[in-house]
Structure 1
Amino acid sequence: MQSDNIVQLFTSGNPSALIERTELTECTALLAKLCSGKQSMPILNHIRFASEQGGVALTATNLDIQAETSIAADVDARFSAALPAAALLKLMKKGTTSTTTILELLADEADPDADRIVASKCAIQLASTRFVLDAMPTDDFPDLIRHAEGDKVHRFSIGSAILWNAIDGTVDAASTEPTRYYLNGVYIHTHNSHLRFVSTDGHRLYIQETNIQTGKHEIGAILPTEAAKFVANLLDGYAGADPVKVEISKGVAVFIFRDVAVTAKLIDGTFPDYQRVIPAEPDKTATIAGGDLSARVASLVECTGATTVHLKFGGEQLVINASGASGAGTTGMDCDYRGEELEIAFDAGYLRSAIEAASPDGRNMRIRMADALSPAIVTGSIGGWSGVLMPTKA
Structure 2
Amino acid sequence: MKFSIERAALLKAVSQAQSVVERRNTIPILANVSIDAEGDTVSFRATDLDIEVLDRAPAMVERAGGTTVSAVTLHEIVRKLPDGAQVTLAEDGASGRLTVSAGRSNFSLATLPKEDFPVMASSEYSANFKAKADVLRRLFDKSKFAISTEETRYYLNGVYMHVADGEDGKVLRCVATDGHRLARIDAALPEGAADMPGVIVPRKTVGELRKLLDEDDAEIAVSVSETKVRFATKDITLTSKVIDGTFPDYTRVIPTGNTRRLEVDASDFAKAVDRVATVSSERSRAVKLQLDEDRLILSVNAPDSGAAEEELAVAYGDDRLEIGFNAKYLLEIASQVDRENAVFLFNSAGDPTLMREGNDTSAVYVVMPMRV
337, 342, 345: which is aligned to 2:324? 345
Contact 2:147 2:177 in 1 (8 A): yes
Match of 2:178 in 1: 201
Cα distance change of structure 1 residues 303 and 206 upon mapping to structure 2, 3 Å threshold: same
Match of 1:8 in 2: none
CA apart distance, 1:277: 0.8
Tell me the amino acid that sits aligned with residue 127 of structure 2: H
Contact 1:304 1:329 in 2 (8 A): no
Contact 1:145 1:265 in 2 (8 A): no
Cα distance change of structure 1 residues 33 and 383 upon mapping to structure 2, 3 Å threshold: farther
205, 219, 223: which is aligned to 1:247? 223
1:40 maps to 2:21: no
Output the aligned Cα RMSD: 1.8
1:261 maps to 2:237: yes
Cα distance in 2 for partners of 1:168, 1:284 equals 28
Match of 1:136 in 2: 112
CA offset digits 1:272-329 (Å, max 9, x no partner): 1110011113110000011111111111212232511110111111001112231111
Contact 2:54 2:237 in 1 (8 A): yes
300, 311, 326: which is aligned to 1:332? 311
Match of 1:64 in 2: 50
Cα distance change of structure 1 residues 220 and 89 upon mapping to structure 2, 3 Å threshold: same
1:190 maps to 2:167: no
Cα distance in 2 for partners of 1:218, 1:97 equals 44
TM-score, normalised via structure 1 length: 0.88
CA offset digits 1:15-45 (Å, max 9, x no partner): x433233211111111111124222222122
Cα distance change of structure 1 residues 145 and 333 upon mapping to structure 2, 3 Å threshold: farther
Residue identity over aligned pairs, in percent, reads 27
1:102 maps to 2:79: no
Contact 2:34 2:114 in 1 (8 A): yes
184, 202, 219: which is aligned to 1:224? 202
Contact 2:295 2:311 in 1 (8 A): yes
1:24 maps to 2:10: yes
Contact 2:144 2:159 in 1 (8 A): yes
337, 350, 354: which is aligned to 1:373? 350
1:165 maps to 2:128: no
In terms of mean alpha carbon deviation, does 209-218 or 28-37 score higher?
209-218
298, 301, 311: which is aligned to 2:289? 311
The secondary structure found in structure 2 opposite 1:384 is strand
Tell me the amino acid that sits aligned with residue 318 of structure 1: L
CA apart distance, 1:101: 2.6
Cα distance change of structure 1 residues 18 and 124 upon mapping to structure 2, 3 Å threshold: closer
Cα distance change of structure 1 residues 249 and 218 upon mapping to structure 2, 3 Å threshold: closer
Cα distance in 2 for partners of 1:34, 1:132 equals 23
Contact 2:68 2:112 in 1 (8 A): yes
Within a 5 Å distance, the mapping from 1:118-133 to structure 2 comes to 120-133=96-109
CA apart distance, 1:94: 2.1
Contact 1:305 1:327 in 2 (8 A): no
CA apart distance, 1:99: 3.6
In terms of mean alpha carbon deviation, does 184-193 or 319-328 score higher?
319-328
1:364 maps to 2:350: no
1:211 maps to 2:188: yes
The secondary structure found in structure 2 opposite 1:280 is coil
Contact 2:6 2:87 in 1 (8 A): no
Count residues in correspondence. Answer: 363
CA apart distance, 1:360: 4.7
Structure 1's consecutive aligned runs of 4 or more residues displaced over 4 angstroms after TM superposition are 213-216
Cα distance change of structure 1 residues 153 and 337 upon mapping to structure 2, 3 Å threshold: same
In terms of mean alpha carbon deviation, does 192-201 or 376-385 score higher?
376-385
Cα distance in 1 for partners of 2:209, 2:125 equals 22
CA offset digits 1:56-89 (Å, max 9, x no partner): 2110111111100222233343311111111111
CA offset digits 1:233-259 (Å, max 9, x no partner): 331x32x22211100001000000231
Match of 2:272 in 1: 296
In terms of mean alpha carbon deviation, does 299-308 or 164-173 score higher?
299-308
Cα distance in 2 for partners of 1:248, 1:305 equals 44
Structure 1 gap segments, 5+ residues each: 1-10, 110-119
